[in-house]
Structure 1
Amino acid sequence: MKMSSSPANFIVLLGLGLAGVFLALRRRRKEIKEDFGAFTKRIQLLPPPQPAPPEAPHPLTGLTFAIKELFDVEGYVTGFGNPDWQRTHEPAVETAPAVSLLVQGGATCVGLTVMDEMAYCMNGVNKHYGTPTNPAAPSRIPGGSSSGSAVAVAAELVDFALGTDTGASVRVPAAFCGILGFRPSHGSVSTVGVVPMAQSLDTVGWFARDPEILHRVGHILLQLPFMEFRPPRRILIADDCFQLTKIPRDQTVSVVIRSTEKLIGGQVLNNISIGKYIASTVPSLKYFQNEEESTNGEGLIASLKALCDARSLLLRYEFKKNHEDWVNQVKPNLGPDISARVRLALETNTDDENIGHSMRVRDEAREALNALLEDDGILVIPTTPGPPPKLNMKEDALEDFRFRTFTLLSIAGMSGCCQATLPVGQHDKSPLGVSFIARHGGDGFLLDTVRAICPTLQEQSNILSQYQKNFGKTCKGNQV
């Protein structure tokens, strides 16, 4: 039967077309909601068959994971968070060794995750692919640049995920999403097949909800033997770092103290001003401090600011070496904040003598932290100055938050020491994290410590939360 081309039929067809578009948009919104916007692409990398008995099964059997989209996967273009990067690069010919180790270990890779463009931000925002929704605090940023990986774990879409951490990119999103995050000792996990940001600082890190899974993944990536737990003999609480935060001490330090007392004993607890220690043991910091900063009332923290400044210069210098040609040739479409950081990096003077000083700061900081922590010490700091900022936070307030965050995270970032962030309850209905730092090469010791203390930290956080609720009810009752 031939259809009439009358205006009425045209209106019907137009209505059907619009309805189809509407339904497609609804399906897309539902899909985004279901995966929290964590993924850019779904893939499947299957593990090998299980070995025949009596051989033990693969250690990661039954676990799923996701990877930040700067890891090479054979046959796929590595996106690096930007469509122009994806458009101008060929598919990878080989999968990154870090990914292959996990698949060979029995885990199944199920997708590539959203990241900040060129890994150059800690907010977790991407103008092209959207901002993944923080499952623990939907009105707040998820943290970056490994935002999608952290969100996929926090939303229970996967058991664990891979990210990278140059300045903050595993530790911050883990803290913001209320999960575990591990930045290993610099150079301990292969970065082959990973798009570089700044090789002197780049690390491959991972996320998990369960400390046992964090531990097992770490042993695969680091190729570590399983050893009997050796508890820390010294836990050093960095008082000056906790003074940088706006969180009541009861919600962080007191929880760590009570957990340590219960698990190990209070005799291992000590307090330290890590800023003062670094000022006295990293002489090349003088090139990043002016005389006023060295002598004013904030002199102890000024050393951490100088450490952060040295790290920032080194990062910009190496980023420029890695990506200047591509940026100048392609002129990629970047988000405004990313574009500003890239432009600043490309303006770095490669003849600046402070670049050499920053490399000496890195070496001196590692030597200093290794001497402080030895083989049995843990340094405790806040992971971030507070809970995740709100999505609509003003730029000046966000910039201040970023500065204080990088001041804290430069301790491990510049020394190359391993750092784990652990959730310790909530403040203002949003996750909080504290960090444990061990010496460079102390990854196994740190993983063991995290696995041992996590249940106690959770228990003490819950006790505090219940106390606060009861106290609040009592106060309201008294007011009535």
Structure 2
Amino acid sequence: MSLKAHVAATPADDTLGAFCPDNQIALNGSGEGPLAGLSFAAKDVFDIAGAVTGNGHPDWLRTHAPAARSADVVERLLAAGADLVGKTISDELAYSLTGENFHYGTPLNPADPSRVPGGSSSGSASVVAAGVVDFALGSDCGGSVRVPASYCGILGMRPTHGRISLQGAVPFAPSFDCAGWFARDTDIFMRVGRVLLSDDTPARPLTRLLFPVDAFAMLEAESRASLDQAVERVATLVSPVEQIVLAKDGLDTWSATFRTLQAGEIWQSMGGWLNEVEPQFGPGVKERFEAAKTVDPDSLDRAKAHRRTIVAGLDALLRPGSVLVLPTVPRGAPERGGDVAEIEVSYRNKAMNLLSVAGLAGLPQISLPLARHGHLPLGLSIVGSRGSDVDLLALAEAVCDR
């Protein structure tokens, strides 16, 4: 297979502010295969041969060389026939959930331009939601595919941890990092998933729906009513429904454990470069990196022990054939340029109470665009047992196409 690469200017129709301004490149796919005729974009944490990976920060771009080869996920999509249109903006070093990049600006949220698109896969979600590309690659550590999928009203998947190669992706917090993807169309979403997962086995039936009362209790009345209707759509396809308490010690304690472990791993991955380069960060991101530097070994040991308990409990709960429903996030997208303490601290922590569940246990999760918070999109997530990615994809397709 011969792939033609060409350096590209920022796409002329980038009225979204979603494509990287300084390191654009495009690749023609093989033209043959299950994704032939489709276009995609890739978050700027994935290597593209011949271009520098910017990782959402001009200093990272400045201090790294062009990639000699493309990331495995990019090569797989190109071999399946899809064409890469370009690289999309990420939040700074992927350490945010808002999509507001201090250096490059905020990609447009097509669902409501006054709102943030969500991060850190902000640019990828924006171009999919606007219909500029058929699908896009993102990465998900703490929620960086699931959050923008919910905010922009599109499909987004975080696969089982380790199912999809991260060769050629910037390491962040390796025990949580996943390559994920977005689409508007359920058939395209499924086809991309089959290619990335390298899995053509038939989907297995899902026969038990778990409803966590503690997770849904976090919601405001309006969001809860809309999500309850979305849960009913899932329940027409999966039954019986079983009400559970997901975290007997509190979802906030799970979130705290996630943040400790994530911060420790991030500093291990990024600390050397941060100390050497001393880059400038925007509000929220700056404080998180400062906190990551201070995580001590005793805190990490306690968090690791707590994680083992959580994983064992979730593995026992999500036996094969089971699926868990969760609000992807507690509410719709916040306003652009909002109060940092509210959006980057208070709301982020509430969102992590939900997002940390799949992250801690390495479980697959799909955010489905089935609900509303007022006029804003709000995702309902389905979470499966480890390795049930194809089963979740089939359920997502069935629910969304009803």
> Normalised by the size of structure 2, how large is the TM-score?
0.93
Task: Trace 1:86-105 onto structure 2 (pairs within 5 A).
Answer: 86-105=61-80
- Specify whether residues 361 and 223 from structure 1 end up closer, same or farther in structure 2 by C-alpha distance, changes over 3 A only: farther
Identity over aligned residues, as a percent? 41
Q: Deviations over 1:410-452 (max 9, x none)?
A: 1101011111000124222111111100011111111111111
2:306 matched to which residue of 1? 361
Distance in 1 (CA, whole Å) between partners of 2:266 and 2:233 is 42
- Is 1:231–2:205 an aligned residue pair? yes
Task: Trace 1:7-406 onto structure 2 (pairs within 5 A).
Answer: 34-40=14-20, 41-50=23-32, 58-227=33-202, 229-248=203-222, 249-261=224-236, 263-264=237-238, 267-276=239-248, 279=249, 303-349=250-296, 352-398=297-343, 399-406=345-352
- Is 1:454–2:400 an aligned residue pair? yes
Distance in 1 (CA, whole Å) between partners of 2:67 and 2:34 is 27
Following superposition, the deviation at residue 230 of structure 1 comes to 3.5
SS at match of 1:37: coil
Q: Which amino acid in structure 2 is aligned with residue 213 of structure 1?
A: I
2:6 matched to which residue of 1? none
SS at match of 1:275: coil
SS at match of 1:434: strand
Following superposition, the deviation at residue 213 of structure 1 comes to 1.2
- Specify whether residues 197 and 269 from structure 1 end up closer, same or farther in structure 2 by C-alpha distance, changes over 3 A only: same
Structure 2: unaligned runs, 5 residues or longer: 1-8
Structure 1 or 2, whichever has the larger Rg, is 1
1:444 matched to which residue of 2? 390
Tell me which of 399, 410, 420 is aligned to 2:356.
410
Following superposition, the deviation at residue 252 of structure 1 comes to 0.7
Distance in 2 (CA, whole Å) between partners of 1:31 and 1:246 is 41
Q: Does the 8 A contact of 2:284 with 2:340 survive in 1?
A: no
Q: Which amino acid in structure 2 is aligned with residue 175 of structure 1?
A: S
- Is 1:423–2:369 an aligned residue pair? yes
1:478 matched to which residue of 2? none
Q: Which amino acid in structure 1 is aligned with residue 215 of structure 2?
A: C
Following superposition, the deviation at residue 259 of structure 1 comes to 4.7
- Specify whether residues 43 and 275 from structure 1 end up closer, same or farther in structure 2 by C-alpha distance, changes over 3 A only: same
Following superposition, the deviation at residue 453 of structure 1 comes to 1.1
- Specify whether residues 218 and 141 from structure 1 end up closer, same or farther in structure 2 by C-alpha distance, changes over 3 A only: same
My pick for the range that moved more, 363-372 or 177-186, is 363-372
Following superposition, the deviation at residue 91 of structure 1 comes to 0.7
SS at match of 1:274: coil
Distance in 2 (CA, whole Å) between partners of 1:403 and 1:166 is 15
Q: Does the 8 A contact of 1:69 with 1:79 survive in 2?
A: yes
Following superposition, the deviation at residue 226 of structure 1 comes to 3.6
- Specify whether residues 210 and 310 from structure 1 end up closer, same or farther in structure 2 by C-alpha distance, changes over 3 A only: same
Distance in 2 (CA, whole Å) between partners of 1:199 and 1:35 is 34
Q: Which amino acid in structure 1 is aligned with residue 333 of structure 2?
A: P
1:21 matched to which residue of 2? none
Distance in 1 (CA, whole Å) between partners of 2:191 and 2:312 is 29
Greater helix content: 1
Distance in 2 (CA, whole Å) between partners of 1:155 and 1:44 is 19
SS at match of 1:252: helix
Following superposition, the deviation at residue 223 of structure 1 comes to 0.9
Distance in 1 (CA, whole Å) between partners of 2:11 and 2:39 is 22
Q: Does the 8 A contact of 2:135 with 2:183 survive in 1?
A: yes
SS at match of 2:313: helix
Distance in 2 (CA, whole Å) between partners of 1:334 and 1:236 is 40
Following superposition, the deviation at residue 128 of structure 1 comes to 1.5
SS at match of 1:241: helix
Following superposition, the deviation at residue 30 of structure 1 comes to 11
Following superposition, the deviation at residue 94 of structure 1 comes to 1.3
Q: Which amino acid in structure 2 is aligned with residue 240 of structure 1?
A: D
- Specify whether residues 253 and 108 from structure 1 end up closer, same or farther in structure 2 by C-alpha distance, changes over 3 A only: same
Q: Does the 8 A contact of 1:151 with 1:177 survive in 2?
A: yes
Q: Does the 8 A contact of 1:366 with 1:417 survive in 2?
A: no
Distance in 1 (CA, whole Å) between partners of 2:144 and 2:291 is 19
SS at match of 2:284: helix
My pick for the range that moved more, 356-365 or 93-102, is 356-365
SS at match of 2:171: coil
Distance in 1 (CA, whole Å) between partners of 2:288 and 2:12 is 32
Q: Which amino acid in structure 1 is aligned with residue 335 of structure 2?
A: K
Distance in 2 (CA, whole Å) between partners of 1:449 and 1:153 is 21
Following superposition, the deviation at residue 159 of structure 1 comes to 0.6
Following superposition, the deviation at residue 140 of structure 1 comes to 0.7
Q: Which amino acid in structure 1 is aligned with residue 209 of structure 2?
A: I
2:3 matched to which residue of 1? none
Following superposition, the deviation at residue 39 of structure 1 comes to 0.4
Q: Does the 8 A contact of 2:30 with 2:82 survive in 1?
A: no
Q: Which amino acid in structure 1 is aligned with residue 16 of structure 2?
A: F
My pick for the range that moved more, 136-145 or 395-404, is 395-404
Distance in 1 (CA, whole Å) between partners of 2:10 and 2:62 is 26
